[in-house]
Structure 1
């Protein structure tokens, strides 16, 4: 096989763990519901999905597992820049799409006029920082989120940091080193949970470093699961594991116990679910729904929040009753899933395929 063929093979995507992909979609839908619900019901203890933000920790754990699976055996055959290009092709189009949607909803929100406050120059700066994933907690009206136009982008910032560290250091770290890093990450995460009373930070200027603690533990824990071959064979399937995943988010929210409960979920339960998901058997009848769930997970995660900002100003201005909010939230979640699918099919996938073809030609 010639060198050109070898380089082209490096760009091919390895076979997916279909159930893990599907679980990512379940977690993404939970995130969307949580973001609406935390506005409708500000007291998390009365919110049925009060721990919904822990879906991000599940994403990080999945990412560590999948990155190690996809690249451990071939990253030494590519340059660091090739690896970064592949990750940019996979992640960056939706970062930009989410930023554009965030800008449009910022400019045309029917219930507020923040543009009148920030003007062209500041708005342009906020948009550029969002596109290039540069934290910029400039808007007090939006709780000093790191990315005011598309709040969930904070986790993509830390995802990129984890990917860069993987390409530079972690891919060649021994299993013993990964164990040590996982242990250190767990200690830091427990400290953050105790200090902040929960594991919800990382999204704003006031809790920036909490995001680093969250990605440190969960990403290396996912790597450890893969490298240790902790894959538990089972017949739970996509539906069974979806129910187990939902238990983590539906656990009652109690302020006095969150600093204990949430680290247990993140440190022990999520890696266990990844092990079970990697070893479970997918029923043929669930193939389509699992595939669709996995495909829309990232587009849904990166495109929903601009519309949550409009929902926030709607609630503040109109003050609708909870009964009406239940209807609005249900319709919004379904609509955003459809929108995510359309963006994936007609924008994200074509862009990524075009960029991959350009990369293939380059190598």
Structure 2
């Protein structure tokens, strides 16, 4: 933790940094996923689990930042805070997706040039309000809820979890919340063991099977994070950021388990990573300390960059995927371009943060926020 002022709650800088590590891993996973032929041969094979780690961190942070505020905070104030924090970058991510859409024609999506402009504008409008897109408006063939910027699906579930927390879950006793978490763990474990692809990948479509995946992926980690914050004691460890980063990267980079014959083995790994390993990493991170100005700056920088890079990078991945499909490079031949996409995603995220997100949020807070002094923030929430 960073050293708190007498009136401020401690700030979990290591958890900020871990969120950034996970976000960068997502970008690398998506770049390399373009070269995979199936779920079985992805190079950062479990990079998709970073989303579940985000959900767990989010539940932990929401409880830490808001549980004690409810006696003096209304539902409207809570939702206002969450919208100001999340929605500006949702809009920007959709705009980047719209601006790059017509650059993405390839064999996977051969009819992109035939999509009328009005439909792209309609998808931009719906996506900017995070309204789910029905299958009738599908423009890519991937049945995405947000076809201009696929990762919007996880923000949709983030909002759902926030709404559930605010409307009732926050009032649950620890035993009742524990029961909810146990039931959610069972749902997640069932998904891992029975998945047709042997993993928990999915959640980005309004189709019933995909809705099942999305619900299972958000319920356990979000509310387990909330429970963890309420009842568990952080685990102190030396060099916590390094240790936790290596543990997280090991989980996300683990090669595929079980192959095509034992799909359940990899699904079991996914579920147990979310149910057991991620909470341990969060507790280790919460128990660690950041020493020195450079380490403090680095963790804060990664934390600030994590959400912008996650929500703006995928339109670049669509474009990179089109390039790979059109030029058919080998992986070594594609690496320079892939590295450029990775670095470009970081640059786009930093520009989005400094030139758009932070100014917009300051303006919104001035226009809509209360006049009284603001409580100390926790983990950039």
Please report the TM-score for the alignment, with normalisation by the length of structure 1. 0.92
Q: Is 1:200 aligned with 2:201?
A: yes
CA shift, 1:204, in A, is 2.5
Q: Which moved more, 1:191-200 or 1:219-228?
A: 191-200
Aligned equivalent of 1:3: none
Aligned equivalent of 2:335: 326
CA shift, 1:238, in A, is 1.2
Aligned equivalent of 1:56: 51
1:240 to 221, 243, 268: 243
Structure 1 residues 31, 13: CA separation in 2 closer, same or farther (over 3 Å shift)? farther
SS in 2 for 1:158: helix
1:229 to 225, 232, 236: 232
- Cα distance in 1 for partners of 2:89, 2:331 equals 32
Contact 1:233 1:279 in 2 (8 A): yes
- Cα distance in 1 for partners of 2:55, 2:143 equals 23
Deviations 1:118-170 (A, max 9, x none): 21332222222211112224436341111100000100000000011111111
Structure 1 residues 103, 40: CA separation in 2 closer, same or farther (over 3 Å shift)? same
Matches within 5 A, 1:24-173: 24-109=19-104, 114=111, 116-136=113-133, 137=135, 138-139=137-138, 141-173=140-172
Aligned equivalent of 1:300: 309
Aligned-CA RMSD value: 1.9
SS in 2 for 1:147: coil
Contact 2:33 2:43 in 1 (8 A): no
- Cα distance in 2 for partners of 1:110, 1:195 equals 35
- Cα distance in 1 for partners of 2:102, 2:314 equals 15
Unaligned runs of 5+ in 1: 1-11
Contact 1:142 1:148 in 2 (8 A): no
Contact 1:225 1:231 in 2 (8 A): no
Deviations 1:60-88 (A, max 9, x none): 00000000000000023111011000000
Q: Which moved more, 1:71-80 or 1:296-305?
A: 71-80
Aligned length: 352
Contact 1:107 1:113 in 2 (8 A): no
Contact 1:40 1:325 in 2 (8 A): no
Unaligned runs of 5+ in 2: 1-6, 373-381
- Cα distance in 1 for partners of 2:337, 2:211 equals 32
- Cα distance in 2 for partners of 1:265, 1:175 equals 23
Contact 2:102 2:113 in 1 (8 A): no
Structure 1 residues 140, 208: CA separation in 2 closer, same or farther (over 3 Å shift)? farther
Q: Is 1:278 aligned with 2:281?
A: no
Aligned equivalent of 1:189: 188
Contact 2:235 2:286 in 1 (8 A): yes
